[in-house]
Chain A
Amino acid sequence: DTGVSQDPRHKITKRGQNVTFRCDPISEHNRLYWYRQTLGQGPEFLTYFQNEAQLEKSRLLSDRFSAERPKGSFSTLEIQRTEQGDSAMYLCASSSTGQSSYEQYFGPGTRLTVT
């Protein structure tokens, strides 16, 4: 078990470009969460999947953001037409549906810088 992995770890992009991040959860964890963390703040919830179904989306997730988990394993988060305000750390977490379902394990994050 290698934990939650995210790719890339860092991304620098110009305003207006599209970016896509990938998250690989802990194997057999069927719940997957995306959070965003800005400097000096705690993580804020963006969206949540159980298997391939997207069950909840925050109002923080504007129309420019889309997340998918097509086969119920890895997930992608795409940001279209990036803005400077999108600069943040994007964190992925996963959990099981079993006995320890309340424990969310976080990946190292993808740091996005929009110039």
Chain B
Amino acid sequence: GEDVEQSLFLSVREGDSSVINCTYTDSSSTYLYWYKQEPGAGLQLLTYIFSNMDMKQDQRLTVLLNKKDKHLSLRIADTQTGDSAIYFCADSYSSASKIIFGSGTRLSIRP
């Protein structure tokens, strides 16, 4: 069945880069997403990548997709305290379909 897996925790020093990794099982995934959830807040769509792309950069965010290994990563450059949140990797196979989410990676920032 469809599954998205990611590590539960990541701790980085302020100013360093954060890399959050994710693997997915559905080879027909067309859209891959990163959502951010801050305490008490809803899910915020951070960025996404289409399955026919290898990389997407958006300011401090870089998404890398290895479709062969079904591996997705999110790199946050110059990590700030405001980046503390839970980051969810997710995928879907069509624009109208449900999104399948991982369990989330909690990113904490050390001073």
Does B92 contact A42, Cβ atoms closer than 8 Å?
Answer: no
User: Closest CB-CB distance, B28 to chain A, in whole Å?
Assistant: 14
Does A33 contact B98, Cβ atoms closer than 8 Å?
Answer: yes
B42 at interface by CB-CB < 8 Å:
yes
Contacts between chains A and B (CB distance < 8 A), count: 57
User: Closest CB-CB distance, A7 to chain B, in whole Å?
Assistant: 13
Chain B residues numbered 85-108 whose CB sits less than 8 Å from any CB in chain A: 88, 90, 92, 95-104
**Residue on B nearest A47 in the bound complex, by CB:** B98
Residues of A participating in the B interface, judged by any CB pair closer than 8 Å = 4, 31, 33, 40-45, 48, 50, 55-56, 58, 91, 93, 95, 97, 101-109
Residues of B participating in the A interface, judged by any CB pair closer than 8 Å = 4, 30-31, 35, 41-45, 48, 88, 90, 92, 95-104
Given A4-B42, A102-B95, A106-B43, 15 further pairs, Cβ under 8 A = A42-B88, A48-B96, A48-B97, A50-B96, A55-B96, A91-B43, A95-B95, A97-B96, A102-B31, A102-B48, A102-B92, A104-B45, A104-B99, A106-B35, A108-B42
